[in-house]
Structure 1
């Protein structure tokens, strides 16, 4: 790290520069950059992007301005989607209801909007209808999933398991209810969910209910389904639609 700091300082010494550190998710590196900013030439601008909210909260007194990047609003989402689906910034008559479903599912995520729209370009209305009925399959595109999995991969084993439980069973559930259930399963529920909130993987609404972006939910459920696509009884988590068959036929693992 010291070598990296020295290289940066030599490269920018005596210059008025704009420096962008994109995707900085190591707290030690984050603090090192904050520590050397005074050695830069006056008038310099430094922009840091990070997925970890805790980086900002721990250094708030040293960071002049912070901005949480929100998803695109409905109008911007519509324009971006239409550019890639129709090669123009407005939609074609007859597609409105399908477009609304896709935009709602993407939740303002630009990458998902672009990938989904591009996959629908030139397709018939019947193809659009089929796609909207299977959005969770389409959003399994590696370009989307690999991007989302970066933050998930950085979690501890405890928080990974907690995230998967929330994605599969507790979206829309009361935080207090969730804590009672998961604490009885040896989870540090409130501590772990705060970690997930800090990493923007889960939100706790004003009504104390848990919320997760639909794409993150799809990612979590997809991770489970890939464990055993053909035999639900071998999954680490079982949904209600499969539970009765598994119990009746005794096809579940010992854990299930």
Structure 2
């Protein structure tokens, strides 16, 4: 498990315990981090002395590389650098929007890509339009790129610069994403659930019968109308975990048991 930030961990475990207690008539009222080297990430504890509940956490990733590592690198090496350069030049009333959907593997190549992106941004910032009310200074899309943008086209899907009209001398801002086109990644909640389950099953190989697996939909949410399909997909599988739950950090925060299918449906967290 990639370690959770304390705030996210508390949010996930609080809603999970509340829903678990409501569904199973238990009274778990606190949790502890699992000791290093054990098979569980968290241990739910009851003040009444009920046997602790072992919980294993995993993220609902279809592809950890594109959904976690690449966005982190893009933010750290590209977005922060662009924002710093805009701030240093005291550029105002501009909004730079960029979507990077792949990233070179080596640090030197990443830094070289930053310089190529900055050249394109500077080109847009310095364009002189005769129409002072025109808000879009520049827009690049990979599908219609010109030769000038060829150096960034393998990695940058979109780049746009907008001007605030009328100007208010607000500092320039960078908006960004690191995702592919809709449908490029696997958006289906059933697929993401099954993939997360398979990865954990491969890791534990039949030794997880006393663990509750909590699949964390962090990158994108699942929806209540998807639960029936998710439960049907899991019902067709032989699963070694004690139970499988989904949690979503998207508001409203929710937790739902998906295997075995519960008799009573859980609801969104208050």
> TM-score, normalized by length of structure 2?
0.24
> TM-score, normalized by length of structure 1?
0.25
Higher strand share: 2
Higher helix share: 1
Q: Kindly indicate whether structure 1 or structure 2 has the higher relative contact order, using CA contacts under 8 Å at least 6 residues apart.
A: 2
- Greater Rg over alpha carbons, structure: 2
